[in-house]
Amino acid sequence: MERREVRLPDGPRISYLAGGDPGAPPLVLLHALGEDATSWTAVVDRLAPHFSLFAPDLRGHGRSDWPGEYSSELMRDDVLGVLDALGLGDIVLVGHSMGGVVAYLVAQEQPARVRRLVIEDVVPPFPFERQIRDRPDTPLPFDWPVVPAILTEANDPTRRYWARLPGISAATLLIGGGPDSYLPPEELAEVARLIPDSTLVTIPAGHHVHATAPDAFCDAVVPWLLAGS
């Protein structure tokens, strides 16, 4: 994967990794809170022969700008800005945890742009208390204010994004992490009910499925994606 960057109009500089087959369909990977594009390293080799890969560091993470203002909607707009800048349409969009929430919002905002959607162990914000810990004293590869911003948003009692789930037109693969994940399985099952064309699978690897069980993750994702190509 090659490191590149794009400066968004009136927005942050977004660094991203690009690789795979440049002539193949585009696949965009969105990482979790506190991680960056390199978090997908364990699955890149299985995806690269079939797709042109793009993995951004979301704002406040890694080598992208740390502007100090954070929300899932701002990250959604950044991702759409990157897609515009790179001329990417009809994409496969894969998101884990926080990146999965951003992926839901992208697919809601521009449904015609997302051909297939893969969501790893996350649902849109719902009333579920997530503890916001103190900032560690050690240097961090991300901007600490992103943590309270995203976790506060993740506890949203209004479920404001859930009403738009039926508007997602992309075929969607939902991957749950099983009993070792923090995510209540009934919430993921409800998302599967609301998205018109969805498939729900469970891989009992905890919240970080693609990192903990990369072969099982790819065995579920790659054939499903290729079947729809």
For residue range 155-200, what is the model confidence (pLDDT) as tens digits? Answer: 888 999 999 999 999 999 999 999 999 999 999 999 999 999 999 9
Picking from 127, 131, 132, the residue whose alpha carbon sits closest to that of residue 162 is: 127
DSSP for 39-54 reads GGHHHHHHHTTT-EEE
Give the architecture-level CATH label for domain 2-227. Answer: 3-Layer(aba) Sandwich (3.40)
Show me where the domains of the chain are located. Answer: 2-227
Q: What is the pLDDT of residue 111?
A: 95
Paired strand residues for 30: 95
Which residue(s) pair with 13 in the sheet?
Answer: 7
Task: Identify the band that residue 132 occupies on the pLDDT scale cut at 50, 70 and 90.
Answer: confident
Express each pLDDT in 16-51 by its tens digit.
999 999 999 999 999 999 999 999 999 999 999 999
pLDDT value at residue 102 = 98
Residue 129 clears pLDDT 80, i.e. is over it: no
